[in-house]
Amino acid sequence: RLATGALVEELELVDGRLRYQKVSGGGPATGWVSVNLKDKALLVRAAAAAPAPEAGGAVAAPAPAAADEKKPPDQGWSVKEGDYYVTLGVVFKKPGTDPETGKILKLSRKVGAVVHTTGKIWKSPKGGIWVELDTSSGDTGAGEKPGYAMIDGPGCGTPGPCLQKADAQDGPPVILRAAAPSGTKAWDGTETAKEFVVLPKTPMQEVKLVIEMLFGLAAGSVHLSGGDKVAGAATVKEAGLRDGDQVGFEVKGPKAINLIVMSPLEEGVKLLDLPIREDWTVAQAKSALCSATGLKKGSTMMAKGKMGERVKEDATLPENELVVQCGYKEG
């Protein structure tokens, strides 16, 4: 535990729990502590006239006041064997010592936060990859109690790995931001900018892939902006990107179009709008239509025709052709 009078820097404050980096005094170098215990203050803000904390408490140094006063990324940074970085802002944890438990906790953590593990991997029958948390030094970055954290796996709605292996030889991570393109939502359904973890040596091609993953964009559709330095750079370091920078990009590719699906039972009655892209095949449009209406793919046929008229045998649309090649367009 932190010693009385210890000075710590606030890294994150969540529901009365403070993640800190120790500046001076006795106690663990980093971890999570409660700010209050009922009506007792365990930590107080450090200031010239601040009252001393009650017994067993510590002093919290205020976070930097100005957003543009960026802390050097290597200040207070350290990782060890078995550490991972949080990549998507969430950690899925199986509590306890048995990874086969069906209970899973969803924890919110900052992108780039460090999770301490023993390195022991467990693979679930469903394909998930989990790693055992290391509780030997107190807080693991995913709580102080034993458990397993998910590195990657199906069924949780994530677009990619939740944890990324940390290596001290790579140097401090770089946390970049990307704004959601107009009309696009991120993987978690929000329209806010997303942070993501890279390293100085990360290829810029991988940066584009991560942005496409975060916002569900088509492969190859992200084009980075920022001039020749960024466009011609091979790595994050060569591009001059620093911790906290926002990556500018454009989305180029097939245009989105909207098809109007009419009711097969009532003439002139609109059933629904079906948003697709110009590069979609008839099979893809059919799949989207069945998902939206509950129709079964096996009993649904895509064909040209008019309501009330028998569909001709040659009217069936080839499922491997593009919808636009079959004459359909916006509206």
Distance CA 86, CA 142 (A): 10
* pLDDT confidence bin for 113, thresholds 50/70/90: very high
pTM of the predicted model as reported, rounded to 2 decimal places? 0.60
If phi > 0 it is left, if psi is from -120 to 50 it is alpha, else beta; for residue 242 that is beta
Question: Hey, what are 131's tokens?
Answer: 């790693």
Is residue 72 pLDDT above 50, yes or no?
Answer: no
The residue ranking higher by pLDDT, 48 or 316, is: 316
Is residue 127 pLDDT above 60, yes or no?
Answer: yes
3-state secondary structure labels for all residues of 137-160: CCCCCCCCCCEEEEEECCCCCCCC
* Contacts of 88 by beta carbon, 8 Å cutoff, 6+ apart: 111, 158, 159, 160, 161, 162, 187, 188
Question: Hey, what are 92's tokens?
Answer: 């899925």
The residue ranking higher by pLDDT, 58 or 319, is: 319
DSSP conformational letter for 169: G
pLDDT tens-digit series, residues 208-249? 999 999 999 888 889 998 877 787 789 999 999 999 999 999
Task: Supply the mean pLDDT for the chain.
Answer: 84
Antiparallel, parallel or unpaired: β 129-133 and 114-123 = antiparallel
Cα four-point dihedral sign 143, 145, 148, 154: negative
pLDDT tens-digit series, residues 313-323? 777 788 888 88
